[in-house]
Amino acid sequence: MAEQSVVVHSDDVRTSEQIARLGSPYADLCRWAADRDLNGAVELAYWSLGLSHRIIAIGNMVDEFHHPEAKAILTSWREDPIISLLDDLAKAIRQDPQINRQYPALPHLGNAEKTKYRYKAEGSLKEQTFLITLITHPLPAAEEPSINFWRRALRLWLVGQAAYRVFSDSCLADRNISKAARFLIADRYQEQWQLVDGILRRAQRYMTPDMLTFERFTDALFLAAEQYKQSDSSGKSSKAFLNAIIDIANGDRKPFPSRRSPTEQPALSFSLPAAPSASSWVTVDENSEDLAEVCPSTPSMVDDDEDDAIYLLPVDATDTQAQQVLTGRSFYQQQAEASHYLPWSYSKLLPPERITIDQWVRQQLLRTDPLALLGGALVWLALRFSRSLNQVLTMTIGEEAQGEWCIAPDFLFVSRLAPRRRNAWYPDQAAQPYVADYQETQSVELIPEISQALTSVSQQMATPTSLAGMWQSVSLGQKVDAWFNAQMRIECPRVTSGKLAEVGGQAIFDASGNHHFARMLTAHPNSALPGACSYASWDIAAIEQGLKLPYHPSAINRLGVTNQGSLLVPLETRLNRTIDDATRQLKEAFDGNDLIRLHNQWTSYCVMALYAATGSRYLKEPFESTLFFNHDLPAVFINDKAEGNGVRNGRMVPLPDKAIAFVEGHLTYLRRLAELLASTHPIVSSQINALLDLPAKAEQPLFFLLDETLNWQSMSATDLPGMPLFDWPLPPNLFRHRLAQQLPLKGVDNEVVDGWLGHAEKSVASYGDTSPRCWLDDWKTYRAEVNALFDRLSFDVLTPPALLPMVTRCAAQEPAQRPRKFGQRLREKNRRLATRHAIRGALNEITLYLKDREIASLTVDEVNQLGRKMLLQERGTPYPSAALRFDVLIRLLERHESPHRHAFHRRHIPKLPENTLIHEGVSTSVTVMTQLEKWAEKIRPYADRAHCSKRQALSLGTMLLCIEKRISYTRMLHDVSLGDNYRLLYHRNTYYLEYSEQLEYANYHVPVQRHVVSYHVASLLAFGQGLTTKRALEDAWKLPHEAPPLPTTFVQGFESRQPLTLNHILDHASDIVNQANLLVLPGIVAGALAGRIAATSLPMQAQVRMVQGKSLVFPDPPTVTEGGTAPTMTPALLRAEGGKHELQQQASRLFKDVKQILEGYTKPQAKSTAKSLEPASFMRVSIERFGAVGCRLQSSTAVSMA
């Protein structure tokens, strides 16, 4: 909000005028406020709350603002100038005993109805006193204690919104605020609190108390009210409240006509306090030519990888939008290359160059010249700590550890604060006994040669405070990188100062094989570390091994202390103690007679075991469907960070053998529960049976809690019978940290851990289309390690009692609960709403900035300022939807043809999305694929022209091709099913199918992908290619008569779509094959078979030469003259005729012909007999329209040469 400044008059005249407006009872308060420059705040509070000379209740606002919950809220809202002003007034009154006693809070009158009449004699509740009445009535306590915080925030929010309307529009009473405030004046058990709490719970999804601002709370309330309005069917008053919240959050003004006298009007002439300046850790230097990484999270956020940095790239304003975007893509390619730590990358020092530089540094350290000595020491520091020379110069000399390495005054060691993500979790006093000890500083000794060199140079100057000062004293103004580049022109011309920064990280990776360790240990304090660095942890011994430097003795407590990475290193003894206590409680529930408590504790126990087994992020409805589990592997599909458009995607996570027992036990328990409730609560029973038998249509998740009325609730609820079961003061993602830390220690490859945890930084995925890794092979390799790690936890595979207790808590009638979305569908819905809200917010902000001007009239500086407002909030932190907001601005500039639409100094570079490969059907696809392979075996006897029409032959042949060759390239399957863009070849008892999207049938030199196919596939496709009638993908799917039908599990995927078409069958089959391939084949192979990677086979000529050692001379592509047709020219691989039976007949005739020739053989006729047999040496096979493969002897146009 723009700062508004009006001259403040605090002289006696102004004070007297204010007393006249407010009334004599406020005289002392006005004089007191004038001495403290708070008279503007008094005036604002007076009119906002609806006070008068007869309502002296400023103390009620003081009490409201002094509540512990309000203090925390107002601290987060102080960046808002209006809230800050009112908060300063309340604090000042509270801290002055005399004025605080003189203006006490007025008491309430008991219940809400009575309190509404508290100020009736002095003013209308509807048009004046609604806010003072609201804060006079005590806030009713909620059943869920945490909701009290948000109820308090809602009351304060209404006060702030009213103050804004008074200040900006002199709106003394707003109709919407009146509706909302009067709705909130209610006692504890009144029904409107259910609506209010529902809105607040929805709003919490978009904010946390640690990241709460007045603006964000406004946006969250708006979005929550909009969502609730769509799903709520409450009465008229509830709808009025929802509409009021939406209008208030939108900034609408609907003032009541003023009933005050002309002398009772506000005179607001004061300055608003300036908003706090942006934190230094998110400052972006607009003049810098470097890429800016900005972290969207404040340092107080709970450690997780939910928020990643955004990148602001400097661009050339003269470039087009496409050129600017291309620059960003180039940056990401470089970053992806750096993430691989390739030792021979051309952008780094090559291994021979590293040897040369090391030798050069040793020579420099032997010289006596101060410039050479210091220069060699600086280069050594750059190499060892992975910094450029300019970054090395920023290192200070002193005792206190900082974010960057700091050199001790005696030059014997360097130290710094341990690198962690800016939103790293820190244990409080309650959590410390549950996690490993940690040390906040890193301190390593320098080698003697460097210490001596720095000491020698420092003796020639006063006490140095930084390496930059030391360099300036000996370099006579020469820049360090210019000096180094001049030295390297002789020694190693390709080496530059910037390349030195890559050496340290590469060396650490080469030694450890851990890219996260190398990334963190060499991290600059301004680096935005990726989310994958949130979980792993390393001790002092690992730091010593990584830097190859001994730890400074005075800094060592003990080697096992956590010194880098996550501080959430849970102690298993503590965890097992809590798990044992939960097991004891669960056994007691099994022996008791409380069904709801038994259900909630059993479900919570199973879910916690699955969290421990999978390392899944915390979700409200985790592991939501039976379709997500594959009991044969065993494994589970997890989608805990989907962001749409493939930016985040699900993954398959292996399950320990013991963990799958919990799933099987839960399924058995749910079946018993459904049977128990069938007679008393048939609706609940049918819903449970549906999620077991028809999981695709389930109306509730697989793991759910029950309230006292048998309505299901999400697993995040804590106010239900038997909850919470696990009592530890640790964040819910503790087992995710445990897996990331312990699996590598047991020998599991770091890339495999990343793949199982869902980390794929900057398009580098463990199981992506460019990866040689195979998920199934990795699972088989490390299955013993995964089982052993889970077995260290004391989860006990219990079995619920066969005879469950009867329901004792729920009401006699069926619970009335409307079907509601959950899990992935709910997250997708919220994502769409958030996107819509982000677009609306960006448009509103642009409109406010324009102030009725045309966007095309903006200057270059104004366009850049508006672009920054789209990306960054007032305090410099990025918006969660920064890319979307920036795109809104770009589109508006393009639409209105602004002359400065490309004139941005910096452009937000969106991260290249990972294609969404695995989806929720992957678990069942593996099973269905096995059944399809069995079906293919059964149907082969029917795969000939005796049983199929030509149309059926194409369809069935394509289906068998998809299954046998595991081809999931949809376009290829469609083309083959229509008889297009493929040809069939036969050579040495092998059948080949060659395919290209635009195949030239007579050209054997064009790029194609070649697959070895079975005789049945070749026969069917050859027969079907002779179809002359029109073919279409919308043709009905038909199998040969008496042929076995497709597997039931395959057909179930179509739900009620009838009739099934060829397009339906092939698309579904390709999806199943693709999902199965992603698990059982290397990623790069699965990508090629799916067409995501362009695959081209060797030319047939080259393949025959390499495999068989023979050369085939193919004819050149035929030329077609005008009005003519291309001649049929074929090489030694010939075209075939006929079907299976004709092939047998042709073979029989060939045998007879050859036998007849040989029977007439005599020695004098040897040459003529040989000539008769000569064509048989060149076999030409042609797969023609009428069927299977046959042979025909004829002269070949190809020449066979040994």
Gap between the Cα atoms of 151 and 138, Å rounded = 11
| pLDDT interval class at 851 (50, 70, 90) | low
pLDDT on residue 989? 86
| pLDDT interval class at 671 (50, 70, 90) | very high
Gap between the Cα atoms of 84 and 92, Å rounded = 12
Q: What is the largest CA-CA distance in the chain?
A: 144
pLDDT on residue 326? 60
What's the burial of 653, exposed, middle or buried (CB within 10 Å: 0-12/13-18/19+)?
Answer: buried
Site of tokens 């190499």:
383
Q: What is the pLDDT of residues 189-227, one digit of tens each?
A: 888 898 999 899 888 765 655 457 788 788 778 878 877
pLDDT on residue 1193? 25
3-class DSSP state of 718? coil
pLDDT on residue 1025? 86
Architecture per CATH, domain 341-565, reads as: Alpha-Beta Complex (3.90)
Gap between the Cα atoms of 1188 and 110, Å rounded = 94
- Phi, psi for residue 141 in degrees, rounded to 5: -75, 140
Q: Is the pLDDT of residue 284 over 50?
A: no
The share of the chain scoring above pLDDT 70, in percent, equals 82
pLDDT on residue 335? 62
Please name which of 1079, 1063, 1065 lies closest in space to residue 930, comparing C-alpha atoms.
Answer: 1079
Q: Which of 447-451, 510-514, 644-648 has maximum average pLDDT? A: 447-451
| pLDDT interval class at 303 (50, 70, 90) | very low
Q: What is the pLDDT of residues 997-1054, one digit of tens each?
A: 999 888 888 899 999 999 999 999 999 888 877 778 888 888 888 889 999 889 887 7
pLDDT on residue 1176? 37
**Residue 724: cis peptide before it, omega within 30 degrees of 0:** yes
β-strand pairing of 982-987 with 990-995: antiparallel
- Phi, psi for residue 386 in degrees, rounded to 5: 55, 60
The share of the chain scoring above pLDDT 90, in percent, equals 39
Element housing 906 (H / E): strand 906-909
- Alpha carbon of residue 857 to chain centroid: 38
| Residue 989 burial (CB count, 10 A) | 6
| pLDDT interval class at 812 (50, 70, 90) | very low
Distances (CA, A) of 107 to 60, 745, 844: 9, 63, 42
Residue 912 neighbours by CB under 8 Å, 6+ apart: 329, 332, 762, 763
User: What mean pLDDT is predicted for residues 869-888?
Assistant: 76
pLDDT on residue 1198? 30
| pLDDT interval class at 1078 (50, 70, 90) | very high
| pLDDT interval class at 274 (50, 70, 90) | very low
Q: Where are the domains of the chain?
A: 12-250, 341-565, 572-791, 823-909, 922-1112
User: What mean pLDDT is predicted for residues 1100-1109?
Assistant: 84
User: What mean pLDDT is predicted for residues 898-927?
Assistant: 76
Residue 155 neighbours by CB under 8 Å, 6+ apart: 64, 134, 135, 139, 184
The class level of CATH for 572-791 reads mainly alpha
| Residue 830 burial (CB count, 10 A) | 16
DSSP 183-207: HH---TT-THHHHHHHHHHHHHTT-
| pLDDT interval class at 281 (50, 70, 90) | very low
Gap between the Cα atoms of 288 and 169, Å rounded = 41
Mean pLDDT of the chain: 82
pLDDT on residue 293? 56
Reported pTM: 0.71
Gap between the Cα atoms of 965 and 962, Å rounded = 6
Q: Which of 424-438, 955-969, 1125-1139 has maximum average pLDDT? A: 955-969
Element housing 990 (H / E): strand 990-995
Distances (CA, A) of 534 to 418, 420, 565, 566, 1143: 13, 8, 7, 6, 66
User: What mean pLDDT is predicted for residues 152-158?
Assistant: 93
Q: Is the pLDDT of residue 446 over 80?
A: yes
Element housing 596 (H / E): helix 595-614
User: What mean pLDDT is predicted for residues 835-841?
Assistant: 81
Greater confidence (339 vs 280) lies with: 339
DSSP 1009-1067: EEEEE-HHHHHHHHHHTT--S---TTSBP-PPTTPPPPPHHHHGGGTT--S-BHHHHHH
| pLDDT interval class at 463 (50, 70, 90) | confident
Q: Is the pLDDT of residue 960 over 80?
A: yes
Gap between the Cα atoms of 536 and 542, Å rounded = 12
